[in-house]
Amino acid sequence: MIRLAGAALVTAGCGALGLAGTARLDGRVRDLGELAAGLDALRRELGWRLSPLPDALGEAARAARGPAGQFFAQCARGAGLPDGRAFQEVWREGLDGAPLRLKPGDRAVLERLGPVLGRYDGDSQRLALEDAAAGLRALREEAADDRRRLGRVYGVLGVAAGLLLAIVLL
C-alpha cells in the first residue's frame, strides 16, 4: 500500500513539474502583453501629453499589471531621483530587478529603449516606443503559439514521466 501511495505521489510530482513548465509559458505571454500595454501608455504620455519622464513611467506602471507594472514603477522611482545617473542605467536596473519572465530576445527589444527615452525629442521617443511595442506584440504571438504547442507537451510529458518512474520503482 505504501508503494502504491509513493507511486501516486511520484506521478503527481512529475505532473506538477509539467504544469509548472506550462505556467512559465503562460507567464511569458502575460508579461509581454503587459509590457506592450505599458509602452503604449508611455508613448501616449511622452508623445502627445509631453509629460515628464517620471510621470509618464508612473502612468505606464498604472496601465500595466504584475511584473511589468513593477518594472515601470521601479523605473519611475529611479528616473525621479536626482542622483545624476543616466536613464539608460535606471532602465537596465529596472529590467534586472523586475521578476519578468522574458527570453533574451524579448529583453533585447526593451534594452534598445533605454538609450532613447528621456534623451531625444518626443517624436523620436514615440517612434521608438511604437517599434518596441510592435516587437513585443509579435513576440507575444510567438509565445502564445509556443504556449499552445508546448503547454500540452509539458503536461503530457510530466505525467508520462511520472507513470514511467512509478512503474520502474514498483
Domain boundaries, the chain: 2-169
Q: What is the mean pLDDT of the chain?
A: 88
What are 108-167's pLDDT values in tens digits?
Answer: 999 999 888 878 777 788 899 999 999 999 999 999 998 998 888 888 888 888 888 888
pTM of this structure: 0.84
pLDDT at residue 91, as a whole number? 92
pLDDT at residue 9, as a whole number? 85
Is the CB of residue 38 less than 8 Å from the CB of residue 63? yes
What are 23-77's pLDDT values in tens digits?
Answer: 888 999 999 999 999 999 999 888 777 788 889 999 999 999 999 999 999 999 9
Long-range contacts of 73-77 (CB under 8 A, 24+ apart): 74/98
Rounded CA gap, 146 and 142, in Å?
6
